[in-house]
Amino acid sequence: MDASWWDDAVVYQVYLRSFFDANGDGIGDLAGLRNQLPYLSALGVDAVWLNPCYTSPQRDHGYDIADYLTVDPSYGTMDDFRALVADAHESGIRVLMDMVANHCSDQHAWFVEALASAPGSPSRERFLFRDGRGAGGELPPNNWQSVFGGPAWSRVTEADGSAGQWYFHAFDPGQPDFNWRNPDVADYFDEVLRFWYSLGVDGFRIDVAHGHFKQVELNDWPGAEDDSGGHNYDMWDQPEVHEIYRRWRALGAEGPGEEKYLVGEIWVPSLERLAAYLAPDELHAAFSFELLVQPWDAARMARAVRLSLDQAKRTGTRQAWTLANHDVHRPATRYGQQQLLEDALPTDMIAAARRTGEADLDLGVRRATAAAMLQLALPGSVYLYQGEELGLPEVLDLPDDARQDPIWLRSAGAELGRDGCRVPMPWEADAQSFGFSPAGAAAPWLPQPPVFSELAVDQQDGVAGSTLSRFREAIRTRRDHFDPDAELAWLDSGHAELLAFTRGASACVVNFGDTDLALPTSWSAELVLASAPISVGGDVLAIPANSAAWLRIDRVAAASAGPVQADGVHQDSPFPLLESTAP
Ligand code: BGC
């Protein structure tokens, strides 16, 4: 396999709306990101992934696209976009965009046209319109539920004012699903991809990449109404979806320039199903969510690493590790919450990664930094979510009237949704909106909590031992310590709570316990980097509680790379966590 830039890249996810506001409207923008490229260079990242910045009514903050060929005016102009790509490339940073092709916005020209057209017309064929059930068509065509809550169908009013057909939306009613069995749709997206590639974009993160096709007959799924029917296999992961990725893979290799990169957000119930997306002529990578959904537990984390690496080996691909994104609670909060191991095998990622409740943030940040060092030591690429490098917490106490996530709105407040991980970044402790916007600007689109002051970039920049400094050093030196091609071998430290492995001449150890743990003296380990203060001296190197260290080791008895057993871990399914889909 030839090496590609993405094999071991560190990709920084930019939630543009919340990164940096250059024009003072309280919303992050392209010019703001461009201003802060030096920050990203100093962090040492290889690429950015931009959450959708296309023209959108922002019902789901850009995951509802009205025009795929322009940027949203609130983010800037096409010239801003071109300038951003040029400067990023100049700084050696590649640019990935987000391709949302399962659905568009209800304000997309095609959907507007479909609504104005008669049932059965070609315009409606680009979406999933169906007649309702019941005498007057007053019931949805089937019992499927949307990911954001409530029925996955909405009824339209026909041009003559009568109650009409229903259309399918896997997410919000403002996000109608395309009918990918209609050839117009595939042709359209070829054009969209080519357009952004022609502007220098280096690849795409593919949103709900297991979506796109639904089972042809759209039959009821038993138990779908109250979620008692388990994963709805008819709504996701249909065999035809692979055709899209074969097409896009070929398109991305057309040139000019280097091959374009495709990484999928895929939630399927087994590794075998996931592997199908990673065939040599489909996606280059799929996010590995296994670490993200684990509690702070050595055996669980080790098992997640092992399963993910087994899968990578089988498919001949590299893992795309991640601990955070714009859909889940931030790691500093998750790891600072009481660990409920009995709840650690949820049926979906929401339960694992969107728990509420008290958090000890000092402990959470300490563990999150250690977890970051763990993933940065693993073979493959790493996706960091903006603010992770500052140790930002989830903002769980946003005022109700500030919340905007459709999950919050559609559940009538029963679920907090995802606003708490999307709060604008703090850059300067003493500036208005912590430096997110210029002086005199509008208030940030989501209010920032007081704790952001002490976590602001200017409080951590150049400060030894700050979270930012630790992330920078780990990102910038990982390739010096861990050769991208070096395989992982597990080490037995004699402590159940100490996860340890080597890759080449370096080792990574993570102490998941609450007491310091001494490494075996036979390891002759020399400390390279640590996620927390560590005292070196004497014969014994002890790894502090809740921390990670990178070591250089001369002599080591590498343990077998056999299965890691953990009490209570399901052994029957390799992917117990992926029972259902989630945004
Ligand atoms: C994205 C979410 C989005 C959903 C619908 C997800 O997978 O990451 O943020 O709400 O897709 O597009």
Is pLDDT larger for residue 351 or for residue 348?
Answer: 351
Is pLDDT larger for residue 464 or for residue 290?
Answer: 464
Amino acid 350: pLDDT: 61
Our measurement of the distance from residue 401's CA atom to the centroid of its chain's CA atoms, rounded to an integer in Å, reads: 26
- Between the CA of 520 and the centroid of ligand 1 the distance, in Å, is 46
Give the whole-angstrom CA distance, residue 583 versus residue 578.
12
CA angle 87, 53, 319 (to 5 degrees): 75
Please state the rounded mean pLDDT for residues 236-259.
Answer: 96
Instruction: Give every CB contact of residue 583 below 8 A, 6+ residues apart in sequence.
Output: 147, 148, 171, 208, 327, 407, 418
Q: 327 CB less than 6 Å from ligand 1? A: yes
Catalytic residue among 254, 358, 487, 492: 254
Residue 424 in contact with residue 448, Cβ under 8 Å? yes
pLDDT higher than 80, residue 167: yes
Least confident of 22-26, 186-190, 534-538: 534-538
Please state the rounded mean pLDDT for residues 394-414.
Answer: 94
Give the whole-angstrom CA distance, residue 165 versus residue 418.
31
Give the whole-angstrom CA distance, residue 182 versus residue 548.
51
Interaxial angle between packed helices 467-481 and 361-377, expressed in degrees from 0 to 180 and rounded to the nearest 10: 20
CA–CA distance from 172 to each of 282, 360, 507 (Å)?
28, 34, 46
For the chain, percent of residues with pLDDT exceeding 90 = 81
**What are the residues facing 510 on neighbouring strands?**
499, 548
Strands 153-157 and 129-130: unpaired
State which of 41-45, 341-345, 347-351 shows the largest mean pLDDT: 41-45
Which residue's CA is minimally distant from atom 7 of ligand 1?
Answer: 583
Q: Which residues of 178-204 are buried (b: 16+ CB within 10 A; e: fewer)?
A: bbbebeebbebbeebbeebbeebbbbb
Residue 160: burial class (beta carbons within 10 Å; 0-12, 13-18, 19+): exposed
Give the whole-angstrom CA distance, residue 338 versus residue 259.
45
Catalytic residue among 207, 265, 290, 389: 207
Ligand 1: nearest atom to the Cα of 102: 12
Ligand 1: nearest atom to the Cα of 103: 12
CA–CA distance from 367 to each of 37, 338, 339, 389, 424 (Å)?
28, 13, 12, 13, 23
Q: Which residues of 501-540 are buried (b: 16+ CB within 10 A; e: fewer)?
A: bbbeebbbbbbbbeeebebbeebebeebbbbbeeeeeeee
Closest CA to 115 of 56, 169, 165, 68: 165
Instruction: Name the residue with tokens 């500093």.
Output: 332
Amino acid 535: pLDDT: 87
Ligand 1: nearest atom to the Cα of 171: 5
Instruction: Name the residue with tokens 């009490």.
Output: 567
Which residue's CA is minimally distant from atom 1 of ligand 1?
Answer: 583
Q: 265 CB less than 6 Å from ligand 1? A: yes
Least confident of 107-111, 352-356, 386-390: 352-356
Instruction: Provide the 3-class DSSP secondary structure of residue 554.
Output: coil
Q: 63 CB less than 6 Å from ligand 1? A: yes
**Residue 510 DSSP symbol:** E
Which helix (H) or strand (E) segment holds residue 80: the answer is: helix 78-90
Structure-token pair, residue 73: 């005016």
pLDDT higher than 80, residue 238: yes
Our measurement of the distance from residue 501's CA atom to the centroid of its chain's CA atoms, rounded to an integer in Å, reads: 25
Sheet holding 547-553, edge to edge: 488-490, 498-503, 506-511, 547-553, 525-530
Amino acid 533: pLDDT: 95
Amino acid 2: pLDDT: 67
CA dihedral 320, 50, 324, 362 (to 10 degrees): 130
Amino acid 340: pLDDT: 65
Residue 565 in contact with residue 254, Cβ under 8 Å? no
Strands 47-50 and 94-99: parallel
pTM: 0.94
Determine how many CB atoms are found less than 10 A away from the CB of residue 20.
24
Instruction: Name the residue with tokens 């905007």.
Output: 404
Residue 452 in contact with residue 436, Cβ under 8 Å? no
pLDDT higher than 80, residue 349: no
pLDDT higher than 50, residue 216: yes
CA–CA distance from 559 to each of 238, 493, 515 (Å)?
41, 9, 23
Ligand 1: nearest atom to the Cα of 64: 12
Which pLDDT band, with edges at 50, 70 and 90, does 345 fall under? very low
Whether 389 sits among the annotated catalytic residues: the reply is no
Q: Which residues of 393-403 are buried (b: 16+ CB within 10 A; e: fewer)?
A: bbbbebeeeeb
Residue 443 in contact with residue 423, Cβ under 8 Å? no
The CA-based diameter of the chain, rounded to the nearest angstrom, is 85
Q: 512 CB less than 6 Å from ligand 1? A: no
For the chain, percent of residues with pLDDT exceeding 70 = 92
- Checking 116-123 for CB contacts under 8 A at 24+ apart, the result is 116/159, 117/159, 118/158, 118/159, 119/158, 119/164, 119/165
Instruction: Name the residue with tokens 């602001």.
Output: 456
